[in-house]
Amino acid sequence: MPQSSGSKALTITSLVVRLLTLIFLLASLIVIATDSATMKIDFTEVKIRLKNVYSYRYMVSVAVIGLAYTFLQIPFAVHYACTGKRLGAHDGLLKFEFFGDKVISYLLATGVGAAFGATFDLKKNLEIRSKLDDFFNLAYVSAGLLLLGFLCSGVSSIISSLALSK
Amino acid sequence: MPQSSGSKALTITSLVVRLLTLIFLLASLIVIATDSATMKIDFTEVKIRLKNVYSYRYMVSVAVIGLAYTFLQIPFAVHYACTGKRLGAHDGLLKFEFFGDKVISYLLATGVGAAFGATFDLKKNLEIRSKLDDFFNLAYVSAGLLLLGFLCSGVSSIISSLALSK
C-alpha cells in the first residue's frame, strides 16, 4: 500500500490531535519550568525548583522528546489533511509512525504517572508541605497538561494503527 | 474479515506475552502487598504499608484491572495459538481487543510512572528514609515487575493492532 487514503474527517482529526499534542506539551513545559518556591531554612533562603524533584525532571524529558517527535510529524499530518493521502512511497514511513506513536505515547503515559504520583505523595508526606503548596499545585497543572498531551498522542497512535490496516 | 490467520510464530508470541503479563502483574501485586516497614515514633510502633502511599494504591488498582483483562484474553489467545485463527464471528471481538489492549497498556504505563516516580522522590526526600530503605527497595522490585508486565502488554497491543490490519 504505497498511499492509503482516509475520509476527510479522519485526516482533519489526525492533524488537530497532532497540533493539540504540541500545544499541551509546550504549555506543560512552560508551567513546570516557571514553577518554583522559596523557603527560609535556618536563616538561609532555599529555592525549590523542578530540578529538585526527579519525577519532574523525568516529566520534562519525556515532554521534550514528545514535542520533538510531534513537531517532526506535523508536516506529514498537514500533507495528509490537505491531500487526503499519506506520504509514504513505501511502507517505511507508515511503520515509523505506527511504532513511533506507540513509543511516544507510552513514554508520555509514564511521565504523567510519575508527575501525578510524586506530586500527590510528596504533598502528603513532606512536613514543610504547607510552604510548598503553591509549588505542588502548579506542578499538578503541568501534569494535567501533560495528561492532555498524552491523550492526544494516544488518539494519534490509534489513527496510525488504523492507517496501517487500510 | 471474520477470521484472520497469522503465522505460527505470531500466534505463539501472542499467547506467551499474555501469560507473561499475567505472571508479572501477579508477582508485582504479591511483592507490593507484602511490603511493609515498622518504625518507632514517640514510643509507638507505626507500620507503613502500601495503603500509606497513594501512588502504590494506584499501582495496585491498575495491576488488578490489567490482571482481570489479561485473564479474560487468555482463552482467546489459547484458541489463536492452537488453531492459528482468531475467534471473532464478526469484527467486534478484534476491535474490543484492539481498544482494550491500548487502554490497559496505557493504564499500566501510568502505574509504572507513578510507582517509580513516587518511590524515587519519597526515598530522596523523607527524613526518616534510612528506616524505610527496605520498604522502598521492595517497592522498586514491585514497580520493576509492573514495568515488565506493561512491556508485555504493549507487545500484545502491537500484535492486536497488526491483527486488525490483516
Cell numbers given for A121: 505523595
Residue A2 lies in a domain: no
Q: B interface toward A at CB cutoff 8 Å?
A: 53-55, 58, 98-99, 102, 105-106, 109-118, 120-122, 124-127, 150, 154, 157-158, 161-162, 164-165
Shortest distance between the Cα of A113 and any Cα of chain B, in A, equals 4
Beta-strand runs (E) in A6-109: 37-41, 44-48
CA B163 to chain centre: 22
Per the prediction, chain A carries an average pLDDT of: 78
Shortest distance between the Cα of B113 and any Cα of chain A, in A, equals 4
CB atoms within 10 A of CB B50: 21
Cell numbers given for B49: 504499608
**Residue B36: pLDDT over 80:** no
Provide ipTM, 2 decimals: 0.76
Cell numbers given for B44: 509507638
Best A51, A54, A55, A112 member to test B by mutation, with max B CBs in 10 Å, is A55
Shortest distance between the Cα of B116 and any Cα of chain A, in A, equals 7
pLDDT of residue B81: 83
Tell me the pLDDT of chain A (166 aa) as tens digits: 334 445 777 788 888 888 988 888 898 888 888 887 777 666 777 777 778 888 889 989 999 999 999 899 888 888 888 887 776 656 777 778 888 888 888 889 999 899 888 888 887 776 655 666 666 677 677 677 777 777 777 777 777 677 666 5
Q: Which chain A residue lies closest to B99 (C-alpha atoms)?
A: A158
Determine, for residues B55 and A109 on separate chains, whether the beta-carbon distance falls below 8 Å.
Answer: no
Domain housing A14? 8-165
At residue B110 the predicted structure's pLDDT band, cuts being 50, 70 and 90, is: very high
Where do runs of H (alpha helix) occur along B35-128?
54-83, 92-125
Which of B53, B109, B121 lies nearest to residue A54, judging by beta carbons?
A: B121
Question: Can you tell me which residue has the cell 519532574?
Answer: A56
Total domains in chain A come to 1
Q: 3-class SS at B41?
A: strand
Determine, for residues A111 and B106 on separate chains, whether the beta-carbon distance falls below 8 Å.
Answer: no
Residue A1 lies in a domain: no
Amino acid at B101: D
Residues of B in contact with A139 (CB under 8 A): none
Which of A110, A126, A164 lies nearest to residue B112, judging by beta carbons?
A: A110
Residue A108 lies in a domain: yes
Residue B148 lies in a domain: yes
Determine, for residues B117 and A154 on separate chains, whether the beta-carbon distance falls below 8 Å.
Answer: no
By percentage, how much of chain B surpasses pLDDT 90?
5
Q: CB of B136 within 8 A of CB of A73?
A: no
Residue B3 lies in a domain: no
Residue B115 lies in a domain: yes
Residue A49 lies in a domain: yes
Residues of A in contact with B132 (CB under 8 A): none
CB-hemisphere CA count at 13 Å for A93? 16
pLDDT of residue A65: 93
Residue B1 lies in a domain: no
Q: CB of A4 within 8 A of CB of A85?
A: yes
Q: Which chain A residue lies closest to B127 (C-alpha atoms)?
A: A126
